[in-house]
Structure 1
Amino acid sequence: MCKKQFSWREIGKSTSNLFIRPKVECSNCDQEYKITISSYIVAMLLRSILILVTFFVIKIDYFSNGINIIIFLVSVAIIFFIEPYLVKYKKIEK
């Protein structure tokens, strides 16, 4: 295990599709890593909660369309920019 940190881009790519538990390959030692189950669950819950909150805020129709778009964009930004920092990886034993 080389202890090299994954770049934000590598982690971002691996968390973009959470319907499967994605793998990341270390560019330094060619070892494969997978998102831990707990990180996977946290990432899915974060996405689900933000999507539901955004849906209900837009559904209430209390805000104007401009505010709804801003709320949606902030939710997407939270998912794509904060989520990669929350995930943990473990080495896949071959």
Structure 2
Amino acid sequence: MSVLEKRLQVLLDDDRFERLAAESARSGRSVGSIVRAAIDLHFSTEDVAAARSAAARRLLERTSEPNDVEPDWADTKAALEAQLDRGAVQ
């Protein structure tokens, strides 16, 4: 984990702060941790965005194949787990 070196002061209205505080209480994480996660999610790196796009494309390709038979979930799950084991899915 990287060292936290920069300090940021942000003014929030009551509603936003209450939502952060509620999530903090619910999840057991600090407000700062929640804000950092939101920043990471919103401003993801190009590599992360590209990996997400590729994963979405693969998923859509699997579901858009013309097929009269409903795909078997156990087979689909096993194939996805095999890809995860190989590091093919991020």
Q: Which interval holds the TM-score relative to the shorter structure?
A: 0.3 to 0.5
Give the TM-score taking structure 1 as reference length: 0.34
The structure with more strand, counted as a fraction of residues: 1
Higher relative contact order (CA 8 A, sep 6+): 1
Q: Considering only CA atoms, is the larger Rg found in Structure 1 or Structure 2? A: 2
The structure with more helix, counted as a fraction of residues: 2
